Amino acid sequence: MIRYILIILTFFSSALQAQDVDVLKHLKVLSSDEMEGRGFGEKGNFKAQDYIEEQFKILNLKPAFGESYKQAFTHKGKKGNNVAVMVPGQTEKIIVVTAHLDHLGVKNDKIYNGADDDASGTAALFAIADHFKNNSNKHTIVVAAVDAEEIGSIGAQYMLDNFPLPQENIVLNVNLDMIAHNNENTIYACGTYFYPQLKAPLEQLDSEVVLKFGHDSPEYKGSDNWTFASDHRVFHRKKIPFIYFGVEDHKDYHQPSDVFENINADFYLDVVDLVIKSIEAYDKAL
């Protein structure tokens, strides 16, 4: 009987890891009609920024940009903001965790809610930052919801070009973009073709999801090659190692049907757990 209790407790503890922060609730809010698809420079996008900032404050996390959680920039006359926090580490080396807060907005009176793309990655940031604020991590961890990915990673590029800490101290970017919708229980880690030293820490992890590697070598053509598919591209161009967690395209990709009701909730929670374990592994290995 004791053995079974221990098994149950171990499972329960693991399952709670990503749920200390209610990421499903945050994903639902960020992909709600109220956010109007979070189009760059639009009212719903600013609502999402404010919501993210408020959650970071509730979690008592340190702003990344001096006294401010927001980093303002403009692009073609439109205003944007990155929203980020910093978890100080024991060394000057830095891991940057990113997810984009924007999506496609409203088109032809239809709201593109972007639940998987990328409310899923953004909501995960709350759990990640909250987890590491209570750990004695070696690296300083910057957790950033970046704006304007859908129009060319403008926010991520601005943040990297105007980074609040020495850019040369960044040893890794972990980018999350579409991590909540896959019917085969499979998540990909892209980037190990270029940075093979990043593969071993992931291979040693226990996970409820199937972790695969790929979508980064020359054998992947066109949109099947994810090397420059999301915000990790700005880090890669600077020769900063990256790991990009994401699912393969699904029927709701860039469609009005990418709504909260169509994500895979259990899969999503397991992926958030996997990402947290991955960052922990990299914090020890790098």
124-178 pLDDT, tens digit per residue, is 999 999 999 988 899 999 999 999 999 999 999 999 999 999 999 999 999 999 9
pLDDT tier for residue 3 given thresholds of 50, 70 and 90: very low
**Within a domain: 25:** yes
So what's the pLDDT on residue 143? 98
Neighbours of 152 (CB within 10 A): 13
Smallest CA-to-CA distance from 130 within 60, 215, 204, 221 is with: 60
Number of domains the chain contains: 1
So what's the pLDDT on residue 153? 98
Arithmetic mean of pLDDT, 76-95: 97
Q: Which domain holds residue 166?
A: 21-285
pLDDT digits (tens, 9 = 90+) for 170-228: 999 999 999 999 999 999 999 999 999 999 999 999 999 999 999 999 999 999 999 99
So what's the pLDDT on residue 26? 98
Average pLDDT, the chain: 93
Residues 6+ apart with CB under 8 A from 210: 184, 185, 186, 187
pTM score above 0.75: yes
List the helix and strand counts (H, then E) for the chain.
8, 11
**Within a domain: 7:** no
**Within a domain: 180:** yes
| DSSP label of 215 | S
Among positive and negative, which fits the CA dihedral 214, 218, 222, 228? positive
**Within a domain: 10:** no
**Within a domain: 82:** yes
**Within a domain: 30:** yes
pLDDT tier for residue 20 given thresholds of 50, 70 and 90: low
Q: How far apart are CA 37 and CA 32, in angstroms?
A: 8
Arithmetic mean of pLDDT, 59-63: 97
Going through the chain in order, the beta strands assigned E by DSSP cover 62-63, 70-75, 78-87, 94-100, 105-107, 110-112, 140-146, 170-176, 186-190, 210-213, 242-246
- Mean pLDDT lowest among 10-19, 91-100, 228-237, 271-280: 10-19
**Within a domain: 11:** no
Q: How far apart are CA 204 and CA 207, in angstroms?
A: 10
**Within a domain: 1:** no
Residues 6+ apart with CB under 8 A from 166: 92
